[in-house]
Amino acid sequence: MSGAQEKPRGGLRGVFADTRPLASADFRRLWTANIVTVIGAQLTVVAVPAQIYAITGSSAMVGLTGVFGLVPLIVMGLWGGALADAMDRRRLLEITTFGLIITSALFWAQAALDLGNVWLLLGIFSMQQAFFAVNQPTRTAILPKLVPPDELPAANALNMTVMSAGAIAGPLVGGALIPLLGYSWLYLIDTISLWATFYAVWRLKPMPVDQKTGAPGLRSVVDGLIYLGGHKILLLSFAVDLIAMIFGLPRALFPEIAHVSFGGPVEGGFEFALLYAAMPAGAVLGGVFGGWISRVHKQGAAVLWAVAVWGGSIAVMGLAVGLSQRQLHVALGVCLGMLVIGGAADMVSAAFRQSILLNATDDAVRGRMQGVFIVVVAGGPRLADVLHGAASGVVGPAWTTGGGGLLVVVGMVLIALAFPVFRNYSIAKD
């Protein structure tokens, strides 16, 4: 735990990111390691869909990563959360981080051997998502042991900023290097960079669970879901994110939009890289200038506003894609600008939603709630990949993107009107 608790900064200093959580040595070590690891991970995030599209030439096949990623995320996310509530969390982080290193090495091997087998690629992707689904709930569940409750929004914002910064560098570097070096080098960089996080995890002190309730079996998972069912705030936080991601994340269409709408090469290229980098660029800006986040008291209302801004930006992006044939460069600029705005809004939403979840749960069930969280935040985009990939083949990428964004805005209005308990939620009052 960090030392003496300071108040959030005011004035000009309060404009920039709240760095109080970095006073915790363990948090600082994990956060610093992530700066290296996230860049490598984002190279893989870019390489996998680009490689699938290059092999098949189909957005529907790119969208199929949603199916292959969703199943292990659901199964291992729920069971992994139960594991995180039953064993030392540092030990579990060591095991799963090493598993991520192995799967990344397998990505490298298939690309280096030039196998060109999309089903093998999807199979390795499923293995990676299984380890990820256990690793991330465990990693987040230890956060309240590292920083005090009032610093949770700031800590989550700092984590999101690093992840987003890597998501800028990864696509820009990856999109530029794929045509020059091929996919294997990107996967190799990811494999090597993961060792930084493994070292940071190894340096943690033991992380036993407070008031451990039992073995990580089916009963433990069911108990966690029962706990969730009795907490409306938690259910609504998950519902908000599912609406935002399923309808408002056209990620599976980026290869098609870059190639067809903006004239980029089929195997990736600059336009493809810009589309992938714009959203995390917005998240970084939102984090760097996010000193105000710690001063917000109605976190529920902040989530609803942030997600509504996200949906509106994606709706305008869809309009820009539709106009790309007339004003190519203007349309691309609008597209990227909307993704930047959406990325900043998403960072704010994620920081508050994660803080609400961590604050509103007991440590004995925190791993299982984070397991559900990872199913939602990672599973929602996988469902979005499938939905957007299929819909684009029927109505095209412009209508798929714009219509989805409008549905997100409508969803937030309905939740705000129907559930004032979420709209008025405050960590300080809970």
Check if the beta carbon of residue 121 is closer than 8 Å to that of residue 51.
yes
Rounded to an integer, the average pLDDT of 247-274 is 79
Check if the beta carbon of residue 31 is closer than 8 Å to that of residue 203.
no
Mean pLDDT for the chain?
80
pLDDT in tens, 44-75: 777 888 888 888 877 777 777 767 877 787 78
pLDDT at 84: 76
Distance CA 425, CA 191 (A): 41
| pLDDT for 289 beyond 80 | no
pLDDT at 412: 95
Rounded to an integer, the average pLDDT of 177-187 is 78
| pLDDT for 95 beyond 50 | yes
Rounded to an integer, the average pLDDT of 334-356 is 88
Secondary structure tally for the chain: helices H, strands E: 17, 0
Check if the beta carbon of residue 380 is closer than 8 Å to that of residue 245.
yes
Rounded to an integer, the average pLDDT of 305-323 is 91
First to last CA, the chain: 21
Distance CA 171, CA 281 (A): 11
Percent of the chain whose predicted confidence (pLDDT) is above 90? 15
pLDDT at 16: 67
| pLDDT for 338 beyond 70 | yes
Residue 110: phi, psi to the nearest 5? -65, -35
Give the pLDDT band of residue 345 (cuts 50, 70, 90).
Answer: very high
Distance CA 401, CA 398 (A): 5
| pLDDT for 416 beyond 90 | yes
HEC-encoded secondary structure of 212-258: CCCCCCHHHHHHHHHHHHCCHHHHHHHHHHHHHHHHHCCHHHHHHHH
Check if the beta carbon of residue 5 is closer than 8 Å to that of residue 131.
no
| pLDDT for 4 beyond 50 | no
95 class by beta-carbon count within 10 Å (0-12 exposed, 13-18 middle, 19+ buried): middle
pLDDT at 5: 47
213: its two tokens? 């309730």
| pLDDT for 281 beyond 70 | yes
